[in-house]
């Protein structure tokens, strides 16, 4: 049964942005949050002060603060797996377990002489670290090379190892469980690749392979020296693990340990903001509540993430896992089917590339897609000079960051129907000073907490992912079928396409 507050929100009308801005000259100020490191403007969301008030009341009714505190206290809030959800502890300088692992990583990083780092992992053991690596590439240590292999498609392995000298290469096998099929296959191939070139001596594996995992025995069984293993804990979920050894090992090698620490400081800053700021001024809380407003009350179930920053090109992919693996859930915490929409589809590309691709649908399509714009005052690379006649590359980029939200919000009338822009399309804008390891960490934590806020309010478990299991199990059966065919080429599977695949030709 929907609560009274939920019913009140159902009765709230979305504002007309043109009118709202005309009537209230202070709207941009009222509907924004200022902090030392970021400015969050949500004045172009279809909300009134009453809507925000009701959304905060909904959060109180669902005990959002209590749930946030339970998460920070390390309580076992992931009920189906009986685990804590404690990634915030990874950024807490006072945690001794975490400090010990970081010290080991620091020492290893300082001693490392290998310059080609290849990280093998998938999902949470890949997307967060890759986002951070791209965001901070400009800070990379001179001469260091970092590549990621995630896909079990041999193309990924072949292309990422192409041109690498084995004697200069270090493979980092990253897997929480050390059982993930794709990662194990790529890891075995990496071992063969290395041994074919440098020989079978255990010293080769010792020097050229390290692991990041929670599964010590499996790492040892693979042949990696326990001294070359960096641990994390079952209270770190895969998609929330970028600030554990999962990110720390490849990123410290690539960027230097000091820069990785900056990532932790940025994430910790946002963690503290999330824990200690009243709801109305709390950026992850308000952004999560606005998502709920858009999804559950306006029916806008897809969100575009549009960083006006090339170095944030991998943020949408990471956000997809965080949002969609966390909140795509059919049942609530008590196991009952949910009776509201949960989860949202997230997609995105760096501006301005997206403008020349899918923005047509965002501006004039029949579905409404709330947008998140992210921009920076300073560029990572100052390309071009400003003059009376010319703008720099960064200024050119930012013209779009300022223009697009207005085009979406206010639209344009035109006598020709195909040139009309309906407007009233919601967006939020996040402005930061500069993309650094610190702000990259801060954006990572914002992404994590925003997804958690929604799960807390919907009453679902955002921290398990049983939805990925069935496909994996069926995959095992298909692998068995393929092996049967290897043993007996006359074996015929009961699947037309699989049969064709095994015969190596399309079905007749
Ligand atoms: O398939 C989903 C998943 O379990 C993710 O949640 C996880 O991030 C990924 O696989 C990789 O898992 P692991 O780190 O255990 O290899």
Q: Is residue 141 part of a domain?
A: yes
Q: 438 with 276: CB under 8 angstroms?
A: no
- pLDDT on residue 265: 98
Instruction: Tell me the CA–centroid distance for residue 469 and ligand 1, in Å.
Output: 10
Please give the Cα distance from 98 to 396 (Å, whole number): 43
Final residue of a structural domain among 232, 263, 294: 263
Specify whether 60 is located in the same domain as 161: no
Query: Which one of 119, 176, 241 would you pick to mutate in the ligand 1 pocket, going by the greatest count of ligand atoms within 8 A of its CB?
Result: 176
List the residue whose alpha carbon is closest to atom 16 of ligand 1.
175
Residues 369, 239, single domain; the answer is: no
Whether 200 contacts 219, CB under 8 Å: no
CA-nearest of 117, 81, 439, 473 to 238 is: 81
* Whether this model's pTM surpasses 0.95: yes
- Residues 67, 114: one domain? no
Reading the block at residue 315, the tokens are 């943020």
Q: Does residue 10 belong to any structural domain of this protein? A: no
Half-sphere exposure of 286 (CA within 13 A, CB side): 26
For residue 160, give both structure tokens.
Answer: 């990422």
Examine the domain organization and report whether 305 and 199 are in the same domain.
Answer: no
Give the three-class secondary structure for 499.
Answer: helix
Domain termination residue (choose one: 228, 263, 298): 263
Based on the domain organization, do 349 and 437 belong to the same domain? yes
The 3-state DSSP class for residue 395 equals: helix
Domain count, the chain: 3
Candidates 256, 2, 4, 228; CA nearest to 106 is 256
Pair (494, 450) in one structural domain: no
pLDDT of 56: 98
Q: Is the peptide bond before 427 cis (omega within 30 degrees of 0)?
A: no
Is the CB of residue 326 less than 8 Å from the CB of residue 451? yes
In a domain, 8, yes or no: no
Cβ contacts of 184-192, under 8 Å, gap ≥ 24: 185/152, 186/120, 186/149, 186/152, 186/156, 186/157, 187/120, 187/222, 189/154, 189/157, 190/118, 190/120, 190/149, 190/157, 190/161, 191/222, 191/223
For the domain that residue 166 is a member of, what is the CATH number? 3.40.50.10490
pLDDT score for 3 = 95
Mean pLDDT across the stretch 321-349?
Answer: 97
CA pseudo-torsion sign 30, 398, 266, 445: positive
Predicted confidence band of residue 508 (pLDDT cuts 50, 70, 90): confident
* Mean pLDDT, range 181-199, rounded to an integer: 97
pLDDT reading at 1 higher than 90? no
Domain assignment present for 380: yes
208 a catalytic residue: no
461-500 residue pLDDT tens: 999 999 999 999 999 999 999 999 999 999 999 999 999 9
Check residue 258 and give its pLDDT.
Answer: 98
Distance CA 433, CA 281 (A): 19
Give the whole-angstrom CA distance, residue 470 versus residue 459: 24
CA dihedral sign of residues 72, 76, 80, 81: positive
pLDDT tens digits, 252-270: 999 999 999 999 999 999 9
The whole-number average pLDDT for the span 294-321 is 98
Residue 480 lies in a domain: yes
The answer on 297 and 441 residing in a single domain is yes
Quote the Cα angle for 167-169-175, to 5°.
140
Query: Which member of 262, 323, 325, 344 is catalytic?
Result: 325
Paired with 170 in beta bridges are: 117
Q: Which of 177, 180, 463 has most ligand 1 atoms within 8 Å of its beta carbon, as the pocket-test mutant?
A: 180
Q: Which helix (H) or strand (E) holds 229?
A: strand 229-231
Same domain, 23 and 113: no
Q: Please tell me whether residues 378 and 409 are part of one structural domain.
A: yes
Using CB distances shorter than 6 Å, the residues near ligand 1 are 122-125, 175-177, 180, 183, 238-239, 325, 465, 468
269 falls within a domain: no
Domain containing 497 equals: 471-503
Give domain status of residue 343, yes or no. yes
Domain contains 81: no
Choosing from 263, 297, 314, the residue where a domain stops is 263
Q: For the segment 158-169, what is each residue's pLDDT rounded down to a tens digit?
A: 999 999 999 999
Report whether pLDDT(30) > 90: yes
In a shared domain, residues 326 and 432: yes
Selecting among 60, 165, 281, 356, the annotated active-site residue is 356
pLDDT at 297: 98
- If one counts every other C-beta atom within 10 angstroms of the C-beta of residue 151, the result is 14
Residue 472 among the catalytic residues: yes
235 and 97 share a domain?
A: yes
Asked whether residue 92 falls in the same domain as residue 62, the answer is: no
């Amino acid at each position: 049964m929907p609560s009274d507050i939920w019913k009140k929100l159902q009765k709230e009308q979305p504002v007309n942005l043109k009118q709202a801005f005309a009537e209230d000259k202070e709207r941009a100020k009222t509907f924004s949050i200022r902090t030392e490191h970021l400015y969050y403007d949500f004045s172009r969301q279809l909300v009134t002060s009453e809507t925000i008030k009701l959304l905060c009341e909904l959060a109180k009714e669902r005990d959002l603060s209590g749930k946030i505190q339970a998460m920070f206290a390390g309580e076992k809030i992931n009920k189906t797996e009986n685990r804590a959800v404690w990634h915030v502890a990874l950024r807490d300088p006072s945690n001794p377990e975490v400090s010990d692992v970081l010290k080991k990583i620091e020492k290893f990083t300082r001693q490392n002489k290998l310059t080609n780092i290849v990280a093998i992992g998938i999902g949470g053991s890949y997307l967060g670290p890759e986002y951070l690596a791209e965001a901070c590439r400009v800070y990379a240590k001179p001469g260091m090379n970092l590549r990621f292999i995630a896909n079990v498609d041999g193309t990924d392995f072949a292309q990422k190892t192409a041109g690498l000298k084995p004697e200069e290469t270090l493979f980092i096998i990253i897997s929480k469980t050390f059982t993930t099929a794709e990662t194990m296959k790529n890891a075995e191939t990496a071992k063969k690749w290395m041994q074919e070139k440098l020989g079978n001596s255990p010293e080769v594996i010792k020097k050229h392979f390290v692991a990041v995992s929670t599964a010590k025995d499996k790492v040892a069984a693979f042949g990696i020296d326990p001294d070359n293993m960096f641990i994390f804990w079952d209270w770190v979920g895969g998609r929330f693990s970028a600030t554990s050894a999962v990110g720390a090992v490849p990123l410290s090698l690539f960027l230097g340990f000091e820069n990785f620490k900056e990532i932790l400081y940025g994430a910790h800053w946002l963690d503290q903001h999330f824990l200690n700021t009243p709801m109305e001024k709390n950026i992850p809380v308000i952004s999560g509540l606005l998502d709920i407003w858009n999804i559950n009350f306006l029916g806008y179930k897809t969100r575009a993430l549009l960083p006006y920053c090339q170095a944030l090109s991998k943020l949408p992919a990471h956000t997809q896992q965080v949002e969609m693996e966390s909140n795509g859930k059919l049942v609530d915490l008590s196991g009952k089917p949910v009776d509201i929409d949960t989860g949202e589809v997230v997609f995105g590309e760096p501006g301005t590339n997206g403008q020349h691709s899918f923005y047509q649908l965002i501006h004039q399509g029949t579905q409404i897609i709330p947008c998140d714009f992210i921009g920076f005052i300073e560029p990572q690379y100052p390309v071009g000079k400003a003059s009376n006649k010319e703008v720099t590359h960064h200024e050119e980029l930012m013209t779009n960051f300022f223009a697009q939200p207005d085009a979406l919000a206010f639209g344009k009338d035109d006598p020709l129907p195909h040139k009309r822009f309906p407007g009233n399309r919601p967006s939020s804008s996040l402005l930061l000073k500069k993309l650094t390891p610190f702000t990259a960490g801060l954006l990572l934590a914002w992404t994590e907490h925003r997804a958690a806020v929604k799960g807390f309010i919907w009453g679902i478990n955002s921290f398990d992912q049983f939805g990925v299991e069935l496909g994996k199990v069926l995959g095992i059966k298909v692998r068995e079928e393929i092996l049967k065919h290897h043993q007996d080429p006359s074996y015929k599977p009961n699947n037309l396409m699989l049969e064709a695949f095994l015969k190596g030709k399309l079905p007749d």
